[in-house]
Amino acid sequence: MLEDLLSGAWQSVVFGVVGVALMAAGFLLVDMLTPGRLRELIWVRRNGNAALLLAANQLGIAGIVFTAILTSYSDFTKGLASTVIFGLIGLLIMALAFFVLDLLTPGRLGEIICSDEPHPAARVSAATHFGAALIVCACIA
Q: Would you say residue 73 has pLDDT above 80?
A: no
Assessment of whether the complete model's pTM goes beyond 0.85? yes
Give pLDDT, residue 86: 93
Q: Please state, in angstroms and rounded to a whole number, the distance separating the CA atoms of residues 8 and 1.
A: 11
Q: Is residue 22 very low, low, confident or very high in pLDDT (cuts 50, 70, 90)?
A: very high
What are the start-end ranges of the H helices in 1-141?
Answer: 2-33, 38, 48-70, 76-104, 109-114, 120-140
Helices (H) and strands (E) in the chain, counts: 6, 0
Q: Is residue 104 very low, low, confident or very high in pLDDT (cuts 50, 70, 90)?
A: very high
Give the mean model confidence (pLDDT) for residues 12-19: 95
Q: Please state, in angstroms and rounded to a whole number, the distance separating the CA atoms of residues 95 and 25.
A: 12
129 and 94 Cβ atoms separated by less than 8 Å: yes
Q: Would you say residue 8 has pLDDT above 90?
A: no
Contacts of residue 36, Cβ cutoff 8 Å, sequence gap at least 6: 114
Q: Would you say residue 121 has pLDDT above 80?
A: yes
